[in-house]
Structure 1
Amino acid sequence: MKKRAWLVTNSAIVLACLIGLWAGAVAVAHIPVYMLPSPGAVLAAAWERYPSLINSLWITTMEAVGGLAASIVVGVAAALLFAQWRWMRQLVYPYTILLQTVPIVAIAPLIINWVGPGIQAVMLVTFIICLAPIIANTTQGLVSVDRNLVDLFLMHKATPAQILLKLKLPHALPTLFTGIRISAGIAVIGGITGELFAGSTRVGEGGLGYSIIYANNQMETGYMFALVAAATLLGFGFFFLVMFFEWLALHHWHESTREAAGE
């Protein structure tokens, strides 16, 4: 507990120093507010536009959660199929990895043409970005089970379903959560990227990505920085929420969470 408190304190001190350097640089160099607002100006803009900021944050949260949840369901299902049938893994798995190389900026206009602008299009963009890490990590965990353990289950006449659910799936949980952590970090990026193209169904109202463009066009730099800060906090929130669920699922039996907790 003392170690964690010390880490949090050090992190807070570093953050305070960075904010102080930012405020000092703006004051000393007399940087115009439209180029780099001071921390106070950003806080003032966030307070003044608080309802709009919360609305944009909520929209992006829904889009990121929807895309991430869909990618987890589809990714785990695909990984289970790949683990059960080697021929399917050899034929299809390489193409799922190609999702990581898809230039989402290039296909975003196509997605808008298919489903139209709005939340559904942004969720689809987020889903495509988040899917590959979950498939890759979960598949790796499922197929890397010690062969001796599999033979032990077979000696006790375990069915393929029992081997999958009672041996391979628990063994793959750490790598599954690794994939979810990666996808959780990029889910917000996917949502904001989708909003840059999918925009909004109402002028002046949308998620963080759309609001950042709108604020930039209106030369509201302070509010734009507040939106960027909100997106950063949302990404941190996703990451630490996944870490909490990982600890909840693994801390009783897996060494990775015990080492992280200092046990």
Structure 2
Amino acid sequence: MTIAGSAAARRIERVLPLLVGVLAFGIWEALVRWFAIPPYLLPGPLLVAETLWRDGRSLLAALAVTLQVTGSALVLATVVGFTLAFALARFRWLERSVYPYLVALQVTPIVAIAPLILIWIDDVFLAQVICAAIVALFPIVANTSLGLASAEKDLLDLFRLYRASPWQTLCLLRLPTALPHILGGVRISGGLALIGAVVAEFVAGTGGSDTGLATRILEAGYRLEVPRMFAALLLLALTGVLLHSALGWLSRWLLRWRDGSANDV
């Protein structure tokens, strides 16, 4: 394939998701109009867009609160996950002792844990952050542990031959090898942190002006304001896509920087 052909193929790949979205929204709008579906059952995308434009300021303010919980939870899960993964990689007996409980924590629904955390912790924001961090923790621990254990045996033997300390082996061999796995775990945990933040706010059921999008969805549901519910859901979906894309771009940039540094050496 020529360079021009490959560039055209890349442009088509970028446009295809937009075309699929436009087609899906067009079919959705046509079906709503054709069958005269009332807005309190299923609003059309044009009505959802109008609602989003009209209530955008309120919904964006709520989104900012949700993103505060999401960002704090992702940072907390990253710090705890890295520390725990390094400890598991350093002490095998600790991995055998703790890992089954991490799996149990991962498979336990957060909606069953969140009420307990909200009872034990008076600060609602901190409780929501902890709930979201629990959801986002396991991929970081699992991917980081896998990456740290994926160093080549020959290179490990070489480091032992030169009497490298465990810290030198970690920094110079295991961490660079584990970087793609670590970034993949953080990328997965970003979306999970957003889900955990929304679920935690659903369980908390807080009210007032300084609340997130989950509360706006609950309020709209109680009032049968279905277009507003769809507008909030659309905003959440777009936020998730942008968060995933941003973490993906960060991963590619860090890996490119690492590969470039290796080539410079």
TM over 0.5: yes
SS at match of 2:143: helix
- 1:261 paired residue number: none
C-alpha distance in 2 between matches for 1:43 and 1:49:
10
How many Å separate the matches in 2 of 1:237 and 1:251? 21
CA distance in 1, matches of 2:249, 2:25: 28
Q: Are positions 1:240 and 2:232 aligned together?
A: no
Residue 8 in structure 1 maps to residue 20 in structure 2: no
Q: Does the aligned pair in 2 maintain the 1:79–1:139 contact within 8 Å?
A: yes
Normalising by structure 1, we get a TM-score of: 0.92
Q: Deviations over 1:156-185 (max 9, x none)?
A: 221110001110011111111121121112
Q: Give the number of aligned pairs.
A: 253
What TM-score results when the alignment is normalised by the length of structure 2?
Answer: 0.91
**Residue aligning to 1:130:** 136
The aligned residue for residue 213 of structure 2 is 208
Q: 1:184 pairs with 182, 190, 193, which one?
A: 190
2:91 corresponds to 1:88: no
Q: Which residue of 1 aligns with 2:3?
A: none
1:141 alignment partner in structure 2: 147
Question: Which of the residues 35, 46, 50 maps onto 1:40?
Answer: 46
Instruction: Please state how far the C-alpha of 1:253 moved relative to its aligned partner.
Output: 5.5
Equivalences for residues 148-159 of structure 1 within 5 A? 148-159=154-165
Show the counterpart of 1:196: 202
Structure 2 match to 1:75 = 81
Contact 1:83-1:89 within 8 A present in 2 as well: yes
Paired letter, 1:217:
Y
Contact 2:65/2:210 (CA < 8 Å) preserved in 1?
no
d(CA) in 2 for partners of 1:29 and 1:80?
A: 58
Task: Give the counterpart of 2:174 among 157, 162, 168.
Answer: 168
Distance 2:46 2:124 in 1: 33
Alignment RMSD (CA, Å): 1.5
- In the alignment, the residues of structure 1 paired with residue 171 and residue 127 of structure 2 have an alpha-carbon distance, to the nearest angstrom, of 34
Q: Tell me which residue corresponds to 1:224.
A: 229
Residue 43 of structure 2 contacts residue 226 of structure 2 at CA under 8 Å; is this kept in 1?
yes
Alpha-carbon distance between aligned partners in 2 of 1:204 and 1:37, rounded to the nearest angstrom: 26
3-state DSSP of counterpart to 1:206:
coil
Counterpart in the other structure of 2:263:
none
In the alignment, what sits opposite 2:68? 62
Aligned counterparts of 1:79 and 1:2: Cα–Cα separation in 2:
43
Deviation at 1:7, TM superposition (A): 1.3
